[in-house]
Amino acid sequence: MRLTCTVNGTEQLVDDVWEGESLLYVLRERMGLPGSKNACEQGECGSCTVYLDGLPVCACLVAAGQAEGREVGTVEGLAAGGELHPVQQAFLDAGAVQCGFCTPGLLVATDDLVGRALAEGRRPADAEIREALAGNLCRCTGYEKVLDAVRLAADRMAEEAR
Amino acid sequence: MEFLQPTTWEEAVETKAAHPDAVPIAGGTDVMVAVNFGRLRPARLLDLTRVPDLQQWDTEDGVVRLGAGVPYARVIGELGDRLPGLAMAARTIGSPQIRNRGTVGGNLATASPAGDAHPALLAADAEVEVASVRGTRRIPVADFYTGVKRSALADDELVAAVRITPPSGPQQYSKIGTRNAMVIAVAAFGLALHPDRRAVGTGIGSAAPTPRRAPAAEEFLAGELDGLWDSRAELPPATAARFGELVAGAAAPIDDVRGTARYRVHALSVMARRTLTWAWAEYRKGETRCA
Amino acid sequence: MSTPTRSPSGAPSHLTGPGGGRVGDDAARPDGVLKVRGEFAYGSDLWMDDMLWGVTLRSPHPYARIRSVDVGPALAVPGVHAVLTSDDVPGSKTYGLELADQPVLAVDVVRYQGEPVALVAADHPETARRAAARIAVDYEVWEPVTDAREALGHPHWNRVHETEAPVTELSRESAHLHPEGNLVRHVKVRKGDPDATADVVVVGEYEVGMQDQAFLGPESGLAVPAEDGGVELYVATQWLHVDQRQICAALGMPPERVRLTLAGVGGAFGGREDLSMHVHACLLALHTGRPVKMSYNREESFFGHVHRHPATMRYEHGATRDGDLVYVRAQIYLDGGAYASSTPAVVGNAGTMGIGPYVVPNVHVDCYGAYTNNPPCGAMRGFGSVQTAFAYEAQMDALAAELGMDPVELRCRNAMEQGSPTPTGQVVDSPAPVAELLRRLQAMPLPPSPATGADADLRDMPGGVSNTTHGEGVRRGVGYAVAYKNVAFSEGFDDHSTARVRLEVVGGEPTVTVHTAAAEVGQGLVTVEQQIARTELGVDRVVVAPKDTAVGSAGSTSASRQTYVTGGAVKAACEAVRARVLERAAALTGWPVGDLRLFDGAVVAEGLQLPLAEVLGDDAVEETLEWRHRPTEALDPETGQGFAHVQYAFAAHRAVVDVDTELGLLKVVEMACTQDVGKAINPQAVVGQIQGGTAQGLGLAVMEEVLVRDGRVRNPSFTDYLIPTVLDMPPMRIEVLEYADPHAPYGLRGVGEAPNISSGPAVLAAIRQATGLPLTRVPVRPEHITRT
């Protein structure tokens, strides 16, 4: 089947999609956007987290056809041009990236969390960060530096917004 | 494989009638796992995410009609006050990403004994509204589950909505997992106190071939509470303990990779006792949530 | 030659990164920007226009004879380009890290569930999967051998202490899974009096379940047929050259025709030390003449790599009334599964370090590794030391309780220090601050108790938002554990690394290129390589060349060894380059070489600053060096004595755990860790290793287990193999000590494994304190705590 959708603001059209393919497979193998990672294919690890119409979801559990006409946002779309997004920069500065396989999904989930909190005029509390990121497994860091990164990103983004 | 995408409820029901073998997909949290691992190769997938009626909830005659396609995240965010037990259950489900996609309708259609919504629906005496070209019918949720991953849904039917009367008393939900987030229930328990009709609702998950109620426990507790509803007096610890035992007695669990049958029975007795203690403490404070 | 491409990312690329950062700095990762932009090319991201997808057909049975294989129906599927079996393996039919006992594709017999039987290449992964399902394999199913002691014909222990259970029918009868028998290795450690007696004796039996590395990036790679008839393999792995050796043998090709390049690695932790899809992809590529990509899904990954050995252990500790250890006797059984993998070395570690970092005059240890029909077990972070630490630290706590002594006191009293003898007759010849690590933990403040009842935040409670307790039944426990681990390869292995370092001026800027084959698996070795080059050559711009087999072996990214060994090689190569540059500068300027040094892109001396551009012109100075740590010795086969280990790493943990004693659910409240790292080359990365290692230890302690029954894996998914989430891993307090090891480059000590070893035992100690239960099996399950 044919699939058209908007990915990171760009219209995408792909043909010959097998109906059993996931949005993740289509992004990675058909649209040349391998940033979203495939680590479990059953919604347990969050490595494939993307925005679907503005909500973070596991792309592995979205049937390709369900994305028809929708807006998809991936890690590749976070940075504006050459500049890193503050969440990306914070993950680097905090040392939250080791093997990096979980990183794309964590970045999208963090962007969503921090964005929502700042929209409400606050920074996310630690317990809230933990609950919001519980669906993103990381095997390398033990999460401590991920938490550091989220706090750092929230601080910087709050500062920028002022 | 064919990918069918109805855009109206009528079209969806007609499509299902024309293709009873079509596998409905909403949040994909069950279906896509099976597809990804080659365990499911249906001739047709029936995508329900474009049917606007399914994405809505409203209130009719004091009853919440929750469209089958409303994701858990919205149950938590929009219905926490009206459906507290279901919202508590929803908060235990998967991750934020899963809760943004997974639906109560999907939980019902899959009818897994471990589905997290079931104990809350059972305790709240929910009704499942199912539809086909033949018409719409309402099934009391306790009658909906007919076996392991089997339900009363006919081949040509789709889950349209769940109907739940907002509680006249406190509700609780408790679930055992061997990790502090993102777990399939080892055992789960839902409790609803119904002071308006002097009744008690229960729901047991992951501890029998289907989700089920604990009728003996409900009757026992309703009897014990008979004199206490009005006085809001302290609940004797022995009553809570006995309630726990009766809830555990209603279970028929198995040993599996997630836990032993013995543990499940034990955990149910503890969860039932504790949730009753919390619910009764809330009731005594008069914090009854009204519809 | 064509290289795999994928818009917008390149194939494994030269990494430069943001620049800056020398030894001792928190230098930024050179691959960091690519990783946060989603542009870092992992094995599973590689792609070529005309590539095919390879899949593996695996045995559903743990033990069976293959009567026949019919690939015809699979070949008939449109889109299928090749279907291969063991008959298509041109070279050696078997491979292995230490013993070549594992078939590339099953030959006549399958010995574990998931053993590869056949391969398919097709134009879509779904086509390949469908075709694989059509391969008809006729199995004669045999009864699997699933218990390590029974496989060896050894009797079971009774759960009561003193007597042994009778030999069972099965153990006497058990068939040999391999021609040489079911014993992979038996290590004996004999020191002092084997019949020593003591005032106070504690006996315990312990069991550790099978842990999975659970790296997030499943096995994957791309094989590309080359014009010379050879093959290029881009693969996520831990040791390119040991892969190359085994692939060459299987393909019957010389190394110059089998070229490997490291693809991006999504974590490893030991699970990529053995081959997975390597030979398979090469076979399919050579057979079809097309590039072939293979990428496992999570379920296949559980069958596609070795796991941590499950262990059963029996320990007897004897001590004086004052708490001085008199003897330790231990029997340790490690289930190696169907093939040897690195079982011999794991047995060596478990045996030689199996009593912990304590001084004991009389030691009698027997450690066995056995073949069974369970999944093959091999390398995982901690490598034989993780299992025994659960046992010896439980014994220390039990002994302390028996003596009425503080558990930390007892440990400090018997702690190893510099100059102490080990059970294998080595003298610890560098700092061993075991007691200090423990005392520092003890001095740290304890975390406050969470609010309970109506004010409870469920996220602070055992069970989390699943709402199982508001404080009811919750008791807090505090536990300590200390562990040690050998760094680098032991027992006389020729452990070395190769580094090629080139200094030249590129675009007016002095530039160093570091080329090694050392696998970057996430730990940050590429950063360390840059830091060392910057430090030694005084040049900011350091490029890390792709990791490949065009340079000599770096050895494995395992055993906490790369910063030590490849770091040592890079340092040595830089020193050789520096010597040549300074000689050149001396010749140019007439200054004595001894007065010159490299600083900030120039040759400098008192009153001299000569830019490198002027010294080098258009020339490049390049040196390639093989570097070795000081040699170790094989163990004496009868006594286990010998200078077997080049360096030890020490770490200690304190765990604070809230236990819902009624439901058996846990909330680890805090983990504190002290570790001596000799010298922190990159302090931020060191802390990251401690945090990550701690999390994996915690996972094994309370939730992680590959459940195997009758040789079958029952939970090959992230739904049922649970690893800690951010709600399971608590905040940490960390103190890093830097007592230089005079034998090591910069005085550094390998970092990655030690914190993975002491973490779990500390958690167990805390749970025991909270519950009063012996808890002799890990992972601890709610059933154990509630005795249901």
Query: Residue B14 burial by CB count (10 A; 0-12/13-18/19+): exposed, middle or buried?
Result: middle
Question: Closest Cα of chain B to C658: distance in Å?
Answer: 12
DSSP H/E element including C73: helix C72-75
On whether residue B268 sits in a domain, the answer given is yes
Give residue A82's pLDDT: 83
Q: Are residues B256 and B139 in the same domain?
A: no
* Spans of chain B, pLDDT less than 70: 287-291
Whether B280 is in a domain gets the answer yes
Element (H, E) at C604: strand C602-605
Would the pTM count as exceeding 0.90?
yes
Mean pLDDT of chain C, nearest integer: 95
- Rounded CA-CA distance B61/B165 in Å is 9
Write out pLDDT tens, residues C596-650.
999 999 999 999 999 999 999 999 999 999 999 999 999 999 999 999 999 999 9
Phi, psi torsion values for C564, nearest 5 degrees: -70, -55
Q: Which of B160, B140, B203, B9 is nearest to B70 (CA)?
A: B160
Strands C102-103 and B2-4: unpaired
Strands B23-25 and C52-58: unpaired
Burial of C186 (0-12, 13-18, 19+ CB in 10 A): middle
pLDDT tens-digit series, residues C167-218 = 433 333 445 788 888 999 999 999 999 999 999 999 999 999 999 999 999 9
pLDDT tens figures, C391-419: 999 999 999 999 999 999 999 999 999 99
Q: Are residues B98 and B230 in the same domain?
A: no
Contacts of residue C269, defined as CB under 8 A and 6 or more positions apart, other chains included, come to A139, C213, C214, C215, C380, C381, C521, C696
Per the CB < 8 Å rule, is A127 touching C28? no
HSE at residue C765, side-chain half, CA atoms within 13 A, is 32
pLDDT of residue C165: 40
Q: What share of chain C in percent tops pLDDT 70?
A: 96
Calpha distance B263→B256 (Å, rounded) = 11
**B43 vs B6: CA distance, rounded Å:** 16
Angle at C326 between CA C196 and CA C645, to 5 degrees: 105
Q: Is residue B291 part of a domain?
A: no
Q: Is C191 helix (H, G, I), strand (E, B) or coil?
A: strand
Q: What angle do CA A100, A45, C655 make, to 5 degrees?
A: 80
Measured between beta carbons, which residues in chain B are less than 8 angstroms from residue A22? 32, 35-36
Amino acid at B66: L
Residue C12 has pLDDT above 70, yes or no: no
Query: Can you give the pLDDT at residue C561?
Result: 98
Q: What is the pLDDT of residue C163?
A: 41
- Cβ of C728 within 8 Å of Cβ of B36? The answer is no
- Identify whether the C-beta of residue B99 lies closer than 8 Å to the C-beta of residue B72: yes
Domain-embedded: residue B52: no
pLDDT in the model for residue C6:
52
Q: What is C643-686 written as a DSSP string? A: ---SEEEEEEEEEEEEEETTTTEEEEEEEEEEEE-SS-SSHHHH
| Same domain membership, residue B244 and residue B114 | no
In this prediction, residue C162 carries a pLDDT of 39
Residues of C in contact with A41 (CB under 8 A): 297-298
Tell me which of B291 and C105 has the higher pLDDT: C105
Q: Does residue B74 share a domain with residue B96?
A: yes
Judge if B157 and B178 occupy the same domain.
no
Q: How far is A121 from chain C (nearest CA, A)?
A: 22
Q: Inspect the interface and report whether the beta carbons of C466 and B182 lie closer than 8 Å.
A: no
Scanning C491-604, the segments in alpha helix (DSSP H) are: 525-537, 562-589
Cβ <8 Å between B98 and A58: yes
DSSP string, chain B: -EEE--SSHHHHHHHHHH-TTPEEESS-TTHHHHHHTTS---SEEEE-TT-GGGG-EEEETTEEEEETT-BHHHHHHHHTTT-HHHHHHHHTSS-HHHHTT-BHHHHHHHT-TT-SHHHHHHHTT-EEEEEETTEEEEEEHHHHEEETTEES--TT-EEEEEEEPPPSS-EEEEEE-SSSSS---SEEEEEEEEGGGTEEEEEEESSSSS-B--HHHHHHHHHHHTTHHHH-PPPPHHHHHHHHHHHHHT-----BTTB-HHHHHHHHHHHHHHHHHHHHHHHHTT-PPP-
- SS3 of C110-148: ECCCCCEEEEEEECCHHHHHHHHHCCEEEEEECCCCCCH
- C357 contacts C188 by C-beta, under 8 angstroms: no
Same domain, B19 and B146: yes
Mean pLDDT score, C14-20: 79
Read out DSSP for B20-83? TTPEEESS-TTHHHHHHTTS---SEEEE-TT-GGGG-EEEETTEEEEETT-BHHHHHHHHTTT-
What confidence tens digit (pLDDT) does each residue in C149-160 have?
989 988 877 543
**Cα gap C165→C62, rounded to integer Å:** 27
- Which range among C294-308, C333-347, C452-466 shows the weakest confidence by mean pLDDT? C452-466
Domain range for B157: 2-47+57-164
Residues of B with Cβ-Cβ distance to C665 under 8 angstroms: 176, 178
CATH number at residue B26: 3.30.465.10
List CB contacts of C13: < 8 A, sequence separation 6 or more.
C34, C41, C546
Question: How many domains does chain B divide into?
Answer: 2
**One domain for residues B195 and B117:** no
Partner residue facing C218 (CB), from A28, A39, A138: A39
State how far residue A106 is from chain B, nearest Cα, in angstroms. Answer: 11
Is the pLDDT confidence value at C725 over 50? Answer: yes
Do the Cβ atoms of C782 and B186 come within 8 Å? yes
Cβ burial, residue B34 (10 Å; 0-12/13-18/19+): middle
* Cross-chain CB nearest to A88 (options C36, C41, C684): C36
Domains and CATH numbers, chain A: 3-77 (3.10.20.30), 86-161 (1.10.150.120)
Q: Are B94 and B116 in contact (CB under 8 A)?
A: no
Contact A137/C8, CB-based, under 8 Å?
Answer: no
What mean pLDDT comes out for the span C334-362?
97
Share of chain C above pLDDT 90, in %: 93
Q: Nearest C-alpha of chain A: how many angstroms from C493?
A: 28
Residues C354-389 have pLDDT tens digits of 999 999 999 999 999 999 999 999 999 999 999 999
In contact, B264 and B207? CB cutoff 8 Å? yes
Per the domain annotation, does B290 fall within a domain? no
Token pair 């699933």 in the structure block, residue: C146
CB contact under 8 A, C727 and A74: no
B199's tokens? 């009744």
Q: Which of A45, A101, A127 lies nearest to residue C718, judging by beta carbons?
A: A45
- Residue A81 pLDDT grade (very low, low, confident, very high; cuts 50, 70, 90): confident
Instruction: Determine the distance from the C-alpha atom of residue C757 to the mean position of all C-alpha atoms in its chain, rounded to a whole number.
Output: 11
C39 and A41 in contact by Cβ < 8 A?
no
| Chain C residues closer than 8 Å to A137 by CB | 216, 718, 723, 725
Q: Which two tokens stand for residue C341?
A: 């993998």
Q: Does B285 touch chain C (CB under 8 A)?
A: no
Q: Has residue B194 been placed in a domain?
A: yes
Give the one of C7, C26, C42 whose C-beta lies nearest to A32's C-beta. C7
CB contact under 8 Å between B95 and A43, yes or no, is: yes
Task: Tell me, yes or no, whether B146 and B205 share the same domain.
Answer: no
Task: With H, G, I as helix, E, B as strand and everything else as coil, classify residue C712.
Answer: strand
Q: Are C697 and C755 in contact (CB under 8 A)?
A: yes
Residues in C 181-240 with any Cβ partner in A closer than 8 A: 213-218
- Best of B36, B72, B112, B180 to disrupt the C interface by mutation (most C CBs within 10 Å)? B180
Q: Does B199 lie in the same domain as B70?
A: no
Q: Which helix (H) or strand (E) holds C363?
A: strand C362-370
Query: HSE (CB half, 13 Å, CA atoms) of C454?
Result: 6
Interface probe with B: pick from C467, C715, C785, C787, most Cβ of B within 10 Å: C467
Bridge pairing between strands C220-225 and C231-235: antiparallel
Task: Please tell me whether the peptide bond between C344 and the residue prior to it is cis, using omega within 30 degrees of 0.
Answer: no
Do B207 and B96 have their domain in common?
Answer: no
Nearest to A35, CA basis, from C718, C298, C34: C34
Comparing C-alpha atoms, which of C338, C341, C304 is closest to residue C215?
C304
Tokens 């990036």, located at residue: C217
As a whole number, mean pLDDT of residues C538-558 equals 97
**Do B10 and B147 belong together in one domain?**
yes
3-state secondary structure string across C101-112: CEECCCECEECC
Distance in angstroms (rounded) separating the CA atoms of residues C164 and C187: 21
Report the pLDDT value the prediction gives residue C1, as an integer from 0 to 100: 41
Measured CA to CA, the distance from residue C112 to residue C589 in angstroms comes to 69
Given pLDDT bands bounded at 50, 70 and 90, which one contains residue C557? Answer: very high
Q: CB contact, 8 Å: B1 with chain C?
A: no
CB C393, CB C493: distance < 8 Å: no
* Other beta carbons within 10 Å of B290: 10
Residue A110's SS3 state is: helix
Are C372 and C142 in contact by the 8 Å Cβ rule? The answer is no
**Ranges C150-159, C420-429, C588-597: which has the least confidence:** C150-159
Asked whether residue B179 is assigned to any structural domain, the reply reads: yes
Tokens found for residue C123: 């134009």
- CATH number of the domain residue B246 falls in: 3.30.390.50
Q: Does B97 touch chain C (CB under 8 A)?
A: no
Question: Are B229 and B184 members of one domain?
Answer: yes
For residue C779, whether the previous peptide bond is cis, meaning omega lies within 30 degrees of 0, is yes
The most distant pair of C-alpha atoms in chain C lies apart, rounded to whole Å, by 85
The residue assigned the tokens 């503080």 is C406
First to last CA, chain B: 45
Question: Is B289 within the bounds of a domain?
Answer: no
In chain C the domains, ranked by start, together with CATH numbers, are: 44-143+218-300 (3.90.1170.50), 431-485+646-786 (3.30.365.10), 496-628 (3.30.365.10)
Select from B164, B186, B212 the last residue of a domain.
B164
* Antiparallel, parallel or unpaired: β C474-487 and C647-660: antiparallel
DSSP codes joined into one string, C163-183 = SBPPPPHHHHHPPPSSTT-SE
pLDDT for the residue numbered C4? 53
Using a 10 angstrom Cβ sphere, with 0-12 exposed, 13-18 middle and 19 or more buried, the burial of residue C169 is exposed
Of C728, C158, C654, C299, which is closest to residue C446 (Cα–Cα)? Answer: C654
Chain A contact probe: residue of B15, B32, B45, B179 with most A CBs at under 10 A = B32
Q: What are phi and psi of C218, to 5 degrees?
A: -60, 165
Q: Measured between CB atoms, does B44 come within 8 Å of chain C?
A: no
Which one-letter amino acid corresponds to residue A18? W
Q: Which residues of chain B lie closer than 8 angstroms to A58, CB-CB?
A: 97-98, 101
Residues of chain C positioned with their CB less than 8 A from the CB of A135: 725
Chosen from A107, A144, A147, A151 to mutate, greatest number of chain C CBs within 10 A: A144
Residue in C663, C667, C722 closest to B183 by CB: C722
